[in-house]
């Protein structure tokens, strides 16, 4: 008996989902994050409605960005640091942005495997996401995910970014405190990466200060602290501090937290903390406009129709790239004008 089976799309009750998130329902939180990360237009609409519902309950968490060169031990540090915060009574969420497979666009490293202790702790929530094509070491929807975690009542939201280099300073447009992890004696070949991120960081931790590496870590700490003194003073009026730490021995974790707390207290007193968040919201608005315009352009039928032909002409040197781009843009604008013209 061959019966036709019709698969119905499950409808999402936005109010119910929002209430579950506010009640600290971890399953609901995961469902909501999947929703905001979806590329389906129908899901995007529901996601925006959900974000509007939970928005009044956001903004109370401390947002920490954690970055560093490959091999510095970001995930190991975060697990040890996270355990320290939990022992201090904090509920923490870790948004781990992994490199993406160029074939599947999926996450490569899998932080739930690397942060096994935190992943199994009721006071922690670990969410790995693939960076995809997003720039700056972040997922395209990291901001929305962070707001959902705040609505779910997490005291601290940590964002572990992809260790890809100078473009990673994009995380500073998202967090309250930007922590840079460095290795002792990493070599001069990384100086270009170091300079760009060092000028943006609010604090630095020299990792792996154990197993006979303690003296080198202390030396690196002094060198980096001296280097930070030579940079132009930032408008926030804070001189980044440098700390040595060992994730294995769990040393330096409390000192790192005290440094962050001191920073937050000073920034709140000076007014910079709120000013920074307001500036980040404005930046987020403009970034969303750019993303939306880009999406509308590339998904427009006339652009999709002409794109493959023009790409082929550009690759075979039959047309200059800039001329092909201008032609697409002109056709797109003509179609938009025709659509807006009431006579048509």
Q: What is the CATH number of the domain that holds 93?
A: 3.40.50.300
pLDDT of residue 3: 44
Tell me how far apart the alpha carbons of residues 274 and 278 are, in angstroms, rounded to a whole number.
Answer: 6
Tell me how far apart the alpha carbons of residues 101 and 291 are, in angstroms, rounded to a whole number.
Answer: 22
In the listed set 57, 76, 92, which residue is the last one of a domain according to the structure?
A: 57
Residue 328 domain boundaries: 300-340
Which residue did the predictor score with more confidence, 284 or 139? 284
Mean pLDDT for the stretch of residues 7-32: 88
Do 192 and 336 lie in a common domain?
A: no
Do 176 and 205 lie in a common domain?
A: yes
Do 171 and 64 lie in a common domain?
A: yes
Does residue 118 sit within a domain?
Answer: yes
Do 30 and 111 lie in a common domain?
A: no
Does residue 112 sit within a domain?
Answer: yes
> What pTM does this model have?
0.86
Does residue 294 sit within a domain?
Answer: no
Q: Following DSSP, what letter does each residue of 58-69 receive, concatenated?
A: -S-SEEEEEEE-
Burial of 179 (0-12, 13-18, 19+ CB in 10 A): buried
Q: For tokens 């790409």, what's the residue?
A: 311
pLDDT of residue 107: 45
Does residue 287 sit within a domain?
Answer: no
Does residue 150 sit within a domain?
Answer: yes
Do 77 and 167 lie in a common domain?
A: yes
pLDDT single digits (tens) 74-92: 999 999 999 999 999 999 9
Q: Six-digit token pair at 122?
A: 């009721």
CA-nearest of 97, 99, 245, 136 to 183 is 245
pLDDT of residue 109: 47
Do 108 and 198 lie in a common domain?
A: yes
Tell me how far apart the alpha carbons of residues 172 and 235 are, in angstroms, rounded to a whole number.
Answer: 14
Does 140 have pLDDT greater than 90? no
Lowest mean pLDDT among 3-7, 120-124, 136-140, 230-234: 3-7
pLDDT of residue 101: 41
C-alpha 304 chain-centroid distance: 30
Which of helix, strand or coil describes residue 157?
Answer: strand
Beta bridge mates, 107: 100
Do 231 and 117 lie in a common domain?
A: yes
Which of helix, strand or coil describes residue 103?
Answer: coil
Burial of 337 (0-12, 13-18, 19+ CB in 10 A): exposed
User: What mean pLDDT is reported for the chain?
Assistant: 85
Does 42 have pLDDT greater than 50? yes
pLDDT single digits (tens) 212-265: 999 999 999 998 899 888 888 888 999 999 999 999 999 999 999 999 999 999
pLDDT of residue 136: 44
Total domain count, the chain? 3
pLDDT single digits (tens) 167-203: 466 788 899 999 999 988 765 444 555 667 788 889 9
Tell me how far apart the alpha carbons of residues 248 and 231 are, in angstroms, rounded to a whole number.
Answer: 32
Do 21 and 162 lie in a common domain?
A: no
pLDDT of residue 7: 37
Task: Count the alpha carbons within 13 Å of 15 in the hemisphere toward its beta carbon.
Answer: 0
Do 99 and 223 lie in a common domain?
A: yes
CATH of the domain at 41: 1.20.5.170
Tell me how far apart the alpha carbons of residues 319 and 41 are, in angstroms, rounded to a whole number.
Answer: 34
CA-nearest of 68, 70, 92 to 81 is 92
In the listed set 252, 271, 290, which residue is the last one of a domain according to the structure?
A: 271
Does residue 89 sit within a domain?
Answer: yes
Which residue did the predictor score with more confidence, 106 or 186? 186
Which of helix, strand or coil describes residue 276?
Answer: helix
pLDDT of residue 149: 98
Query: Which residues, in sequence order, are CB contacts of 128 under 8 Å at separation 6+?
Result: 96, 97, 98, 107, 109, 110, 111, 112
Q: Six-digit token pair at 141?
A: 């929807």
Q: Are 198 and 228 in contact (CB under 8 A)?
A: yes
Does residue 281 sit within a domain?
Answer: no
pLDDT of residue 1: 40
In the listed set 228, 251, 271, which residue is the last one of a domain according to the structure?
A: 271
Does residue 4 sit within a domain?
Answer: no
Give the helix/strand (H/E) hosting 125.
strand 124-130
Query: Which residues, in sequence order, are CB contacts of 110 under 8 Å at separation 6+?
Result: 98, 128
Do 313 and 262 lie in a common domain?
A: no
Do 104 and 239 lie in a common domain?
A: yes
Do 174 and 225 lie in a common domain?
A: yes
């Amino acid at each position: 008996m061959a019966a036709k089976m019709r698969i119905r799309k499950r409808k999402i009750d936005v109010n119910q989902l929002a209430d579950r998130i506010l009640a600290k329902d971890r399953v609901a939180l995961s469902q909501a994050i999947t929703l905001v990360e979806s590329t389906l237009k129908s899901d995007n609409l529901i996601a925006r409605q959900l974000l509007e519902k939970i928005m009044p309950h956001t903004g109370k968490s401390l947002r920490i960005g954690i970055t560093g060169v490959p091999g510095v031990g970001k995930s190991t540090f975060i697990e040890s640091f996270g355990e320290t915060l939990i022992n201090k009574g904090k509920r923490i969420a870790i948004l781990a942005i992994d490199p993406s497979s160029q074939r599947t666009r999926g996450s490569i490293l899998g932080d739930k495997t690397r942060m096994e202790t935190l992943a199994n702790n009721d006071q922690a929530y670990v969410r790995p996401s693939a960076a995809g094509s997003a720039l700056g070491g972040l997922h395209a929807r990291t901001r929305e995910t962070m707001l959902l975690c705040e609505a779910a009542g997490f005291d601290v939201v940590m964002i572990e970014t992809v260790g890809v280099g100078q473009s990673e300073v994009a995380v500073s447009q998202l967090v309250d405190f930007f922590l840079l992890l460095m290795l002792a004696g990493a070599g001069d070949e990384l100086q270009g990466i170091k300079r760009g991120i060092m000028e943006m960081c609010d604090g630095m931790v020299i990792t792996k200060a154990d197993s006979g590496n303690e003296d080198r870590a202390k030396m690196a700490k002094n060198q980096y602290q001296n280097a930070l003194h030579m940079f132009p003073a930032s408008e926030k009026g804070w001189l980044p501090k440098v700390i040595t730490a060992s994730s294995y021995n769990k040393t330096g974790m409390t000192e790192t937290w005290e440094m962050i707390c001191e920073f937050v207290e000073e920034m709140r007193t000076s007014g910079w903390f709120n000013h920074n968040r307001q500036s980040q919201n404005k930046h987020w608005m403009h970034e969303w406009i750019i993303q939306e315009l880009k999406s509308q352009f590339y998904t427009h039928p006339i652009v999709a129709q002409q794109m493959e032909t023009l790409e082929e002409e550009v690759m075979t040197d039959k047309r200059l790239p800039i001329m092909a781009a201008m032609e697409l843009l002109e056709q797109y604008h003509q179609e938009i004008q025709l659509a807006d013209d009431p006579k048509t």
